[in-house]
Amino acid sequence: MNLTESELIGWGEVIGDEISSPMFVLLRGPLGAGKSVLARAIARGAGVKGVISSPTFNLFFRYSTLRGFQIVHIDLYRIAKSEELWELGWQDLGASNEIILVEWPEHAEEMLPTDRWEITLHYVEGDPNLRSVEVARVGSPLNLPGFPVSLNK
């Protein structure tokens, strides 16, 4: 399925609005694919107010939401060794009130939780405004809202 940026954002906001915790969502795809765009839309949908940063330079952000859970947005792009994951507090993640959004989960492949959603974004040849979106369920995570994507919402 190919989505424009506004469609991707619309879906992210539905996810954020309806998601339950605990939840791990991995965001895969190449540089510039739209992982941060989607993560920020999920945070906005969950009621995070104010500026939602891109974690490219700071790789860990935690936001409280009006619905009582926290959005944890992590970018592992610069993580080279598993010791750095420990320093980040990776092993403490997964509390019952946390929604964890992980960019570049490839850098923690051996330490991923067994129950999770994986969203993979790819460029679409010939159209710079579209991204293909694949969703995979691994283990038994809670439901991922808005999937299959309903674009009329």
Ligand X SMILES: Nc1ncnc2c1ncn2[C@@H]1O[C@H](COP(=O)(O)OP(=O)(O)OP(=O)(O)O)[C@@H](O)[C@H]1O
Q: For Mg ion, which residue of 11, 15, 36, 74 counts as binding (CB under 5 A)?
A: 36
Among 25, 33, 42, 108, binds ligand X (CB under 6 A): 33
CB atoms within 10 A of CB 76: 22
Q: How far apart are CA 137 and CA 124, in angstroms?
A: 23
Residue 96 CB, nearest approach to ligand X (Å): 27
Contacting ligand X (CB under 6 A), which of 82, 129, 143, 150?
129
Q: Which is nearer to ligand X, 6 or 97 (CB)?
A: 6
Q: Which does 84 bind (CB under 5 to 8 A by kind): Mg ion, ligand X, none?
A: none
What whole-number distance in Å separates Cα of residue 117 and Cα of residue 101?
10
The answer to the question of residue 76 lying near ligand X (CB under 6 A) is: no
Beta-carbon neighbour count of residue 113 at 10 Å?
17
Single out the residue of 116, 37, 123 nearest to residue 73, CA to CA: 37
- List residues near Mg ion by CB under 5 A: 35-36, 103
